[in-house]
Structure 1
Amino acid sequence: MAIDIRRRLWDLINSAWLKMSVREQRLWESVRIDPVKWSQSPYGDLGGGFWAVGVIGRIVVWYNDIEDGFNCSHYSSYGQIGEYWCNQDDLDISVRKLLGRIDDGYDLAPFVGPPRPGPYPG
């Protein structure tokens, strides 16, 4: 099963690279790492996987195979994702957001947070 996930992940990475601008490709080539499984508690404790695919400073670019999307989060210990997001972005969007953080000093779009127990507040 891990082989299928890795194959799918590489397909997503390669597909996203083709959609990136030259600036985004340059950034991606500077931060990318071979996919490696990282942990995230408590959501990673439930199963599935979180795959780090890029690191810059204290930010990790990661793929959530439960939500089927990429996210950028802070981390304090290498191998441990500190913030859980479920944006379900394509990698090129996550890299674009990361470039925005570098260029502008803030996130270009909101992040979708983890699930919250209880009734819907609407």
Structure 2
Amino acid sequence: MKWEPITFDELALEISKGEKEMSSENFQFWNKIKFTPKKWTEHEFGNEGNGFWAVAKYNNFVLYYNDIEEGFNISKFEKDREIKEYGAEQDELQYALIKLRKMIEYYKM
């Protein structure tokens, strides 16, 4: 079976599932940082699927869906629309968001 990138509609379902599982505090944060999903480049493994779907950003962190691993990941970025570090986590959205909040707290952003 050949790998196929996730479609926008399939991603929207993943996001919707994650939103339903978020605490009210995390949902408020999510609403501040999310944006309409856009494909961002990632040059280590992302070329075949024309990048990965980025869904939110805060300062220099981007939250994106890795459809090879089938999970949400966090990376730093230096240029908009360019994921700096490949992540192989298989997190659901609500868990990736919690990790992002912990990273922000750690770095005191």
Please state which band the TM-score falls in when normalised by the shorter chain: 0.7 to 0.9
Aligned length: 103
Give runs of aligned pairs for residues 1-122 of structure 1, distance below 5 A.
5-45=7-47, 47-48=48-49, 49-103=51-105, 105=106
Tell me the CA shift for residue 101 of structure 1. Answer: 1.9
**Counterparts of 1:75 and 1:43 in 2: how far apart (Å)?**
16
Tell me the CA shift for residue 88 of structure 1. Answer: 1.1
- Percentage of identical aligned residues: 34
Give the residue type in structure 2 aligned to 1:35. Answer: P
Deviations 1:67-106 (A, max 9, x none): 1110010001101000111001100000011111233x06
**Counterparts of 1:6 and 1:78 in 2: how far apart (Å)?**
20
Residue 116 of structure 1 is matched in structure 2 by: none
Q: Is the 8 A contact 2:18 2:92 kept in 1?
A: yes
**Counterparts of 1:15 and 1:60 in 2: how far apart (Å)?**
20
Is there any run of 5+ residues in structure 2 with no aligned partner, and where?
A: none
| Matched position secondary structure for 1:43 | coil
Is there any run of 5+ residues in structure 1 with no aligned partner, and where?
A: 107-122
| Matched position secondary structure for 1:9 | helix
Tell me the CA shift for residue 19 of structure 1. Answer: 0.4
TM-score when scaled to structure 1? 0.78
Tell me the CA shift for residue 42 of structure 1. Answer: 2.0
The 4+ residue runs of structure 1 with deviation greater than 3 A are: none
Larger radius of gyration: 1
Deviations 1:26-59 (A, max 9, x none): 11001001000000012112x1240000011000
TM-score when scaled to structure 2? 0.87
